Chains A and B, each alone.
Chain A
C-alpha cells in the first residue's frame, strides 16, 4: 500500500523527498557529532569544576587547621553554608561518626526540571565523589552534571526545531526548483498526447536545458519524418486511387467502344454484307458490277474479322476463372501465330483471384504477346505467370529484335508499355523491361496479390 501510494506521487515530489531525506540524514549525523562533543564538553566542565572545588576545599581545610576542634564545625559551616553548591557540586558535611551535619540545597538553576533517563545516561559523566577531611569532619563533594545535561537537551530541541524548519524549506524550495526545471516535460507530454491523437503538426520549442533541448529536437525531427511519411502515404494512396480510377474509366471506355462497335458497326457491316450478297446474286450478267459486289462481300468479311479482333481485345475476360481464360487466350494466340513457339508456364495455384487482378493479368499478357507479334519478330516466346512468394509475377521473354523492336512509349493503337506500366502501378506493382546482350526482350511485371482469399489468409 505504501509503495503504491509512493508511486502515485509526482516525480517532483519524489525527488524533493529524496533530497530532503538526504539532508535529514546529514543533519542526524551532525546531531550525533554534536552530542558527542556535548558529552565531552560536559565531562571536561564537570571535571574541571570538581577539581577546582576540591582544591579550594583543601585550601580552606589548611586554613582551618589552626581552629580548635570544638569550634571547627561552627566555623566550617559558617564558611560553607553561604556558598550553597560549589560550582555544580553538591556538598555534604559529615561528623567523624558519620552524622550528616550539612547538605547543600538543590540547584536553583532550571529547578525541578529533568531530562529523559536515556538522554542523561548518554551524556552524564561518571565521577566518584571527592572527599576532603577537615579535622574530624568529612566534606563530600559530589559532581552533578544534571544542569549541563538539561542545557544540552534544550539546545538539542532548539536545533531540532531549526533543522525541521530547514528541511521543510529545503523540501518546498527543491520542489519549486524542480517544478520550474521540469516544466518542459509537461509540454513534452502534451505534445506527445497531441501527436498521439493524430495532430502531427505539433512541435516543441527548443528548451534551454541541454538534455531537454535534445529531447525537443529529437521530437521535432521525429514529427517531421512522421509528417513526411504520412504525406508520402497520402500521395501514394492518391496516385494509386487516380491510377485505379483511370483504369476503371479505361475499362468503361473500352466497354462503350465495344458496344458501339458491336451494335452499330458490326450490324452495319452485316447489313452491307447481305446487301452486297444480294447484288452479287442479281448481277451475274454484269461482270463489272458483279466482281465489285463480290469485293464488297470479301471486304466486309475482313471488316468483320477486324471488328471481332478489336472486340476480343476490348472485352473483359471470359468466365470460369483466370486459368481457363488464360488457357483460351494463349491457345487462340498460338493458333493465330503458328510461326512463334509459345512456352507458357502458368502457376496460379489454389486460392481466389480478384477480378481486377485477373483482368490485369489477362490484359498484360495480351498486350505483351501483341507486342511480340508487332515488334519483336521472334520465333520463340517464354511466358511465366504465377504468384511465387505471394506476389504476382508475369515474365515474358522472346528471342526477337530486343529493345529496338519494342514499341515506343506512345504506340499507335494498343496500350503499349506505358499502358501496361499504368495498369501495374494501379495494382501497386512495377514493370521492368530489359534487353539482354544476347538479344531478345524480357518483360517482368510484379504486383502484390490483392485477391480476397489471400487477404483472409493473412488476416487469420
Chain B
C-alpha cells in the first residue's frame, strides 16, 4: 500500500454503489480524492464536464449506453481524458476495443487492491496500463490474427451489438445512443451479416460466448 496518489482527482463510474464505496475508500486511503461518482454511462459525460477529474475509472458494463459508448463520448468531448476501464469479464476483445477507443488503461475488477491503485497511478501519469492477467491473452489474440467475427465489427456496431444482445429493442437502443431507429437498423443488419446470425437469440448467444454479456 505504498502507492501514493496524492492530489489525484478521480471520478468513479460504476453501477454498484458498494463497489464505488470500496474503490473510493481505497483511493482516498492512497491520497487521491474522488471528485465525482455516477452509476450509468449517460451521466458520466456530465459528471466529467462538471468535475474535470484527472482520472476516470469506469466499469464496462453499466445500464444504459454502457461503458464503451460512454468512453467513446468522453474521448470525443475531451481527447485528453485519462480513462481506466474496469471489467468483471476477462475476455480479450473488450480490452482491445476499449484501448482502441482511447482508454489509457484496462483492469479486471478481480485485481488486487494494490493493482487497482497502481493502475490508477499509471493512468494518472498518462501511461498506458493493461491488466497483466489479460496482457498475454490480448497479445496472443492480436498475434494469431484471431478469426473471431466480432473483430470485424466497427466500434459503434459493437456497442449496438452488446445492447441488442442484452435484449433491448432497436428503438430502445436508438434512444440509448440518440440515433435514429433506421441507423440502428442498419447497424443491426451489418452485425447480422458480419456475425452470420439470423435472430436476436443467436445474437445473444454470440455475445454470451464472448463474455460480452452475462447470460
Contact = CB atoms under 8 A, between A and B. Distances in A.
Interface of A: 255, 258-259, 262-263, 266-278, 280-282, 284, 297, 301, 304, 308, 315-320, 355
Given A255-B215, A266-B110, A282-B29, A318 B19 contact: no
A317 B215 CA distance: 12
Interface residues of B, number: 33
25 contacts: A255-B208, A255-B215, A259-B214, A262-B214, A266-B88, A266-B109, A267-B16, A270-B22, A273-B22, A273-B113, A274-B25, A276-B113, A277-B112, A278-B29, A280-B1, A281-B30, A297-B112, A301-B112, A308-B110, A315-B215, A316-B205, A316-B209, A317-B209, A319-B206, A355-B205
Closest 10 CB pairs of A and B: A274-B22, A277-B113, A281-B29, A278-B25, A255-B215, A271-B18, A304-B110, A275-B22, A259-B214, A271-B22
B177 interface: no
Given A263-B214, A276-B113, A280-B1, A319 B150 contact: yes
A210 to B, nearest CB: 64
B209 A277 contact: no
Interface string B145-164: 01111100000000000000
B129 interface: no
A284 B1 CA distance: 10
Nearest to B117: A277
Nearest to B86: A270
Given A273-B22, A275-B22, 13 more contacts: A255-B215, A262-B214, A270-B109, A274-B19, A274-B22, A274-B113, A275-B18, A275-B21, A277-B22, A316-B215, A317-B209, A318-B210, A320-B147
Contacts of A308: 90, 110
Nearest to A271: B18
Contacts of B30: 281
A348 to B, nearest CB: 16
> Would you call the interface of chain A mostly helix, strand, loop, or mixed?
helix
Given A255-B215, A258-B214, A319-B209, A278 B110 contact: no
> Would you call the interface of chain B mostly helix, strand, loop, or mixed?
helix
Interface string B186-215: 000000000000000000011011110011
A272 B22 CA distance: 7
A320 B18 CA distance: 36
Given A255-B215, A320-B146, A320-B148, A278 B209 contact: no
Interface of B: 1, 16, 18-19, 21-23, 25-26, 28-30, 88, 90, 109-110, 112-114, 116, 146-150, 205-206, 208-211, 214-215
Nearest to A317: B209
Contacts of A268: 18
Contacts of A259: 214-215
A443 to B, nearest CB: 26
A276 B99 CA distance: 29
B126 to A, nearest CB: 24
Contacts of B16: 267, 270-271
Nearest to A321: B147
Nearest to A262: B214
Contacts of B22: 270-275, 277-278
Given A266-B110, A273-B22, A319 B148 contact: yes
B19 A297 contact: no
A50 B18 CA distance: 151
Contacts of A272: 22
A263 B109 CA distance: 12
| A277, A284, A355, most chain B CB atoms within 10 A | A277
B21 A271 contact: yes
A297 B26 CA distance: 12
A304 B89 CA distance: 12
Contacts of B112: 273, 277, 297, 301
Contacts of A284: 1
